[in-house]
């Protein structure tokens, strides 16, 4: 399936080569959600093959397993119905998570978080993985960190989701392992200094494109800069250019291939329909 997924994607987008230099790490939102079924191993494998990082969403099943699904319910992205918290892992793994997107992806399943970590380790994938935390229970954060350490992938993870604006979540992640990469949110420029000063994070997550001076203030604090939200999630070539100019460390976008192509070709397709 992996080769078929990549072939489909390359057929739609053209070949892509690794971008040299100091470009930000590109992270595909829920994998390659425009070209493959979101939050599936097929989509994550395709990202790895194309040298892209990926973002995923972590929830728990009724019987306590950590699985990858964006929505609270399985209805939108599978052939099943119901809340993930009310389904067992066995029930979840019977659902088809690919056919809804395209018949070519029939048979894709909702993966467990352990399966994703095992994939990354097995493939020795040197990519960044953004962990969008969706659930809330006493063991949620430490269980995720422990699983990451089991598969030796913790350094590649950057925690977002509930961690960006909930100090208690950041504290739990850092208590589980001080080496955990955690983001704190700066919604606007006026929030930037507070995010930089946060003691339970080592990344600053912005929903705006900082100026060069603002980006430098993040680096001077020995933190990294993660860009997300409407300025870069959508097809915004000018913001892609700015993100590279200010030396952002990572960009989470729905358009990672288009972004890299623009960087590689050294031009901005400002007339493209957004």
* Residue 227: pLDDT over 70: yes
Mean pLDDT, all residues of the chain: 92
**Confidence at 3, pLDDT banded by 50, 70, 90:** very low
What pLDDT score was predicted for residue 191? Answer: 98
Q: What is the total count of domains within the chain?
A: 1
- Whether the predicted pLDDT of 17 surpasses 90: no
Q: What is the pLDDT of residues 49-58, one digit of tens each?
A: 999 999 999 9
Query: Looking at the domain assignment, is residue 160 inside a domain?
Result: yes
pLDDT of 41 strictly over 80: yes
232 assigned to some structural domain: yes
Write down the catalytic residue from 17, 29, 151, 235: 29
5-19, 38-52, 75-89: least confident range: 5-19
Q: Which of 17, 70, 151, 235 is catalytic?
A: 70
> Per-residue pLDDT for 269 more than 50?
no
Note if 151 is an active site residue. Answer: no
| Residue at 42 is within a domain | yes
Residue 127 pLDDT > 80: yes
Contacts for 166 with CB less than 8 Å, ≥ 6 apart: none
167 is a domain residue? yes
pLDDT of residue 255: 98
Range 78-96 average pLDDT = 98
Report if residue 9 sits inside a domain.
yes
Domain range for 22: 2-265
CATH of residue 51's domain is 3.20.20.190
Residue 69: inside a domain, yes or no? yes
Q: Output the pLDDT for position 21.
A: 53
Task: Show Cβ contacts of residue 144 under 8 Å, excluding neighbours closer than 6 positions.
Answer: 58, 66, 113, 131, 133, 176
Residue 77 has pLDDT above 50, yes or no: yes
Selected residue with higher pLDDT from 22 and 229: 229
**Does residue 151 fall inside a structural domain?**
yes
The rounded distance, in Å, linking the Cα atoms of 2 and 200 is: 37
Percent of the chain scoring above 70 in pLDDT: 89
Would 203 be classed as within a structural domain?
yes
What pLDDT does 1 receive?
A: 47
pLDDT at residue 9 tops 80: no
Task: Answer with the residue of higher pLDDT: 13 or 246.
Answer: 246
């Amino acid at each position: 399936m992996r080769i078929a997924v990549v072939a489909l994607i390359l057929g739609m987008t053209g070949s892509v080569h690794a971008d040299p230099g100091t470009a930000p790490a590109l992270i595909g939102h829920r994998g390659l959600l425009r070209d493959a079924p979101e939050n599936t191993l097929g989509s994550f494998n395709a990202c790895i093959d194309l040298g892209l990082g990926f973002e995923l969403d972590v929830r728990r099943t009724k019987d306590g397993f950590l699985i990858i699904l964006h929505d609270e319910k399985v209805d939108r992205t599978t052939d099943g119905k119901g809340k993930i918290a009310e389904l067992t892992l066995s029930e979840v793994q019977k659902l088809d998570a690919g056919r809804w997107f395209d018949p070519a992806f029939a048979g894709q399943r909702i993966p467990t978080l352990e399966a994703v970590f095992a994939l990354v380790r097995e493939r020795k994938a040197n990519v960044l993985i953004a962990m969008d935390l969706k659930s809330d229970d006493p063991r949620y954060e430490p269980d995720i960190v422990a699983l990451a350490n089991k598969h030796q992938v913790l350094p590649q993870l950057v925690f977002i989701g509930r961690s960006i604006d909930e100090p208690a979540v950041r504290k739990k992640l850092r208590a589980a392992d001080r080496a955990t990469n955690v983001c704190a949110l700066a919604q606007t420029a006026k929030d930037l200094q507070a995010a930089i000063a946060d003691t339970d994070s080592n990344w600053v997550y912005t929903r705006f494109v900082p100026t060069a001076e603002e980006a430098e203030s993040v680096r001077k604090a020995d933190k990294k800069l993660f860009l997300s939200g409407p300025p870069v999630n959508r097809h915004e070539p000018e913001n892609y250019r700015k993100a590279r100019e200010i030396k952002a460390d990572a960009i989470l976008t729905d358009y990672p291939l288009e972004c890299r192509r623009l960087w590689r070709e050294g031009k901005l397709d400002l007339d493209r329909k957004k």
